[in-house]
Every structure is written in C-alpha cells, then in structure tokens.
Structure 1
Amino acid sequence: MTGSDAAGEDAEGYAGLRIERARELARRHGWASVRVLEPGQLITMEYREGRLNLAVRDGVVERSWEG
C-alpha cells in the first residue's frame, strides 16, 4: 500500500500511539513522509499527497491526517 492508497481511514488511525510506534506503522503502510507537529507549532497549509501529519503532545499522537 502506498501513502496515497493509505489515505482516509488509515491516516486517522494513529491517535493514542506513542510517536515511535506511529512512525514505524507509517513506514509499514507506505507513507512517503511523516510530519510531526508539536503543540503550538506553526505549520504550512499546503496539501501534500502521501504525507502523514501527526499532532503530538508529550510523545503521544493526538490527531493524524493526510496532507
């Protein structure tokens, strides 16, 4: 499965995981890149197919989405 094939449900399935585990699973699922976002971090809003975004607090994923 490639990152673009992993879209939708898979992109949203990382909440609650420790960041290390989330990165490992993202690689297995074929995501082209993973962007880790800390609380309050400024981010660009451009959409990138195949990129998994992980909003992380205290080392745990709170939210995940493609783009």
Structure 2
Amino acid sequence: MNILKIFSSNVRKYRKIKGFSQEELAFISGLHRTYISAVEREKRNISLVNINKLAEALEIKPYLLLLEETEHENE
C-alpha cells in the first residue's frame, strides 16, 4: 500500500466531486495552489493539520482521504 498514492488520489477525487479547481481548493483550505498540486502528484508528505484543512474544505471526514478506494466506494 502506497499511502501517498492513496491520499493524492482521494484528494483529487473529492476535489473533482466538489467541482473545485486546485486553486479553489487552495483558497478554501488556506493552502497554496502549488502545495495542492504537489499533494496530488505525491510530492508532499502532508501534515495532520493540513489533512484536516483539506477535509474541512472538501466537507468530508479526514479519514476518507486515507482509505483505499475499495474500502469506501459505497460511502
């Protein structure tokens, strides 16, 4: 299991579900657009604080960003 790949994939998936661009997600979460881009490209080892910021911006529980697709595809 590659947690960075799972996390980045989930951030991208939930961002697209909300209809946000990376720039919009960055603005809402209080993070920088290039940081969001790096997270989605598996280039950043994100902190718990920033995981929570992204989850709040995406209006989801933080743990959903860490689950593999098969674990939460029915939620």
The two structures share one fold, judged by TM-score above 0.5: no
**TM-score, normalised on structure 1?**
0.33
**TM-score, normalised on structure 2?**
0.30
Greater fraction strand: 1
